[in-house]
Structure 1
Amino acid sequence: MKLICAGMTDVGSTRDHNEDDFYLSDGKEALCVVADGMGGHRSGEVASAMAIKAMVEYYRETMSDEASAPDPPVGEDGEEVDLIEYRLREAVLSANTAVFTAASESEMYQGMGTTIVLGYFTNDGAYFANIGDSRAYRFRDGKLEQRTEDHSLANEYVRMGILAAEDIEYFPYKNVITRACGLADEVEVDVHFEEMQVDDIFLFCSDGLSDMIRDGQIEQLFKEEDDLEKLCRRLIDVANENGGEDNITVILAKVTE
């Protein structure tokens, strides 16, 4: 199977600078990353760029590991660890270290951090990792489904039964995240694998998209446009039409034969 990708970022309708960043594979690794930075003095854009740089460098420095490793790594419980999943988690942790160290050593960068959502694609399927509320979706057979779980106060309240999912958009603290890259010296990373099919399209986005467009409307836009570049542009345009209250970043990855 092959992968066709497109990506785009936009400052939005109300912000004066863009703290989002993204990365699309240039052929060395089938990797897609979206990072949504946060922090004063424009340090959010530093955090997102720094996180992506650290992850990409880690991947390139360890590319030979999968081929050269004589045995699969073993976890603390003695179970064999999926090497790709291990590298994915370590890449994100390297980003956390880079951002946290920079924030700790500079008053200007104090408190900066970033969300991360990424996909790594193989012939067997797709691996996803995330911290924060940037999301991954899958569009398959006309249906759009969120494939990552938000690390947000709103989502925690939904899980606890305090808040109904349909009321999240009215929740005053819906943008409060419970986990981010770079805010502490350690962070928990969600990683999972799933099989993929030809014609699957994966969407990776910052909350500047998902807060402005309901999932049903995103699904309808997928049905109306086949060209990935045009679909990226259309998603961003609609998010801006709906208010554009934040930076908007979109990556689309389509599986082909």
Structure 2
Amino acid sequence: MEVAANSVIGKQRISNEDYVGYFKNQQGALIAILADGVGGSNGGEIAASTAVDFIGQAFQNHHISSIIDTKAWLSQTISDVNNKIVEMGIEDESLSKMATTVVVALFFGNQYLLTHLGDSRCYLLRSSQLKQLTVDHSYINFLIEKGEVKDGENIDSNLQNVIVKGLGVSSDADVDISNIQFRPGDQLLLCSDGLTKMVSDEIISKILNMRLSGRQKVDRLIDTANDNGGKDNISAILIDDLG
């Protein structure tokens, strides 16, 4: 299994509020975490780094005994880091509006657990076909689901980055956790909206299907997002089974 990750500021932001990381526990199991922070001053950066480091460091000390136990551990850990981010905002007024998306993939054996909050995404490339595994927890999607707007309509740009679920958004951080088989040749991509708003699914699929190393694919994805405007921070983690 090959892992490649990168996070860049993009072309229009003055700071990088994305944060990525991957960690292994003593059993050699892997967890990959990507977060996209929001909230004035340096709050977004703090929320994102807190999320990734908290979950990653907890995983390094976690022993996987069963799927059920690890699902419960992951759910509790996300709840714990949500509480931590909320408390940090209460204690420091300058951080009161900070929050972050998070997307997590936890690998053990030939399977993985997947969960997320917010509009950072996970894609699976299998047999050359790209599939989005996550549903954006965005205000726009919320309006679409309620039937108040139609997909594809022009929507106020101020609403483009509003998330309805995330770490630090509320005291409730319940998550759905999927258990998925990881097959030979599969590629799993975790990415922030700075990538997906600049690069179409068609181009993402094309790049992942290229005969390149994982790092080269990540760099190509990020370069493409920057070439298309780089309006936000751009981050990606690619896990390749290598077949």
Provide TM-score, normalisation by structure 1: 0.87
Structure 2: stretches of 5+ with no match in the other structure: none
Q: Which residue of 1 aligns with 2:193?
A: 207
CA distance in 1, matches of 2:178, 2:184: 20
Q: For the Cα contact (< 8 Å) 1:58–1:94, is it kept in 2?
A: no
CA contact (8 A) 2:123 2:189 kept: yes
Partner of residue 131 from structure 1, selected from 111, 114, 117: 117
* Amino acid corresponding to residue 42 of structure 1 in structure 2: N
Report the Cα offset of residue 174 of structure 1: 3.0
Q: Given that residues 137 and 163 in structure 2 are in contact (C-alpha distance below 8 angstroms), is that contact kept between their aligned partners in structure 1? A: yes
Is there any run of 5+ residues in structure 1 with no aligned partner, and where? 73-80
Corresponding residue for 2:47? 47
* 1:86-125 map, 5 Å: 86-125=72-111
The equivalences for 1:12-91 within 5 A come to 12-26=10-24, 28=26, 29-61=29-61, 63-64=62-63, 66-67=64-65, 82-91=68-77
Distance 1:103 1:126 in 2: 32
Q: Is the contact made by 1:20 and 1:37 (CA closer than 8 Å) also made in structure 2?
A: yes
Tell whether the 8 Å contact from 1:203 to 1:252 is kept in structure 2 after alignment.
yes
Separation in structure 2 between the aligned mates of residue 207 and residue 108 of structure 1, nearest angstrom:
25
How far does residue 156 in structure 1 lie from its aligned partner after superposition?
Answer: 2.1
CA distance in 1, matches of 2:2, 2:150: 37
The CA distance in 2 between the partners of 1:142 and 1:59, in whole Å, is 31
Query: Distance in 2 between the 1:127 and 1:97 partners?
Result: 22
> Counterparts of 2:218 and 2:96 in 1: how far apart (Å)?
33
In 1: Cα distance, 2:161 partner to 2:176 partner: 19
Kept in 2, the 8 Å contact 1:51–1:95? The answer is yes
* 1:252 pairs with 2:233: no
Name the % identity.
28
Residue identity in the other structure for 1:171: I
Quick check: 2:23–2:59 contact (8 Å CA) kept in 1? Answer: no
**In the comparison of the two structures, how many residue pairs are matched?**
239
Counterpart-to-counterpart distance in 1, 2:188 and 2:197: 18
Amino acid aligned to 2:11: S
Kept after mapping to 1: 8 A contact 2:25/2:59? no
Instruction: Give the RMSD, CA atoms, in angstroms.
Output: 1.8
The 8 Å contact of residues 40 and 98 in structure 2, kept in 1 or not, is answered as: yes
Query: What are the equivalent positions in structure 2 for 1:101-180 lying under 5 Å apart?
Result: 101-165=87-151, 167=152, 170-172=154-156, 173-180=159-166
For 1:185, give the aligned amino acid.
S
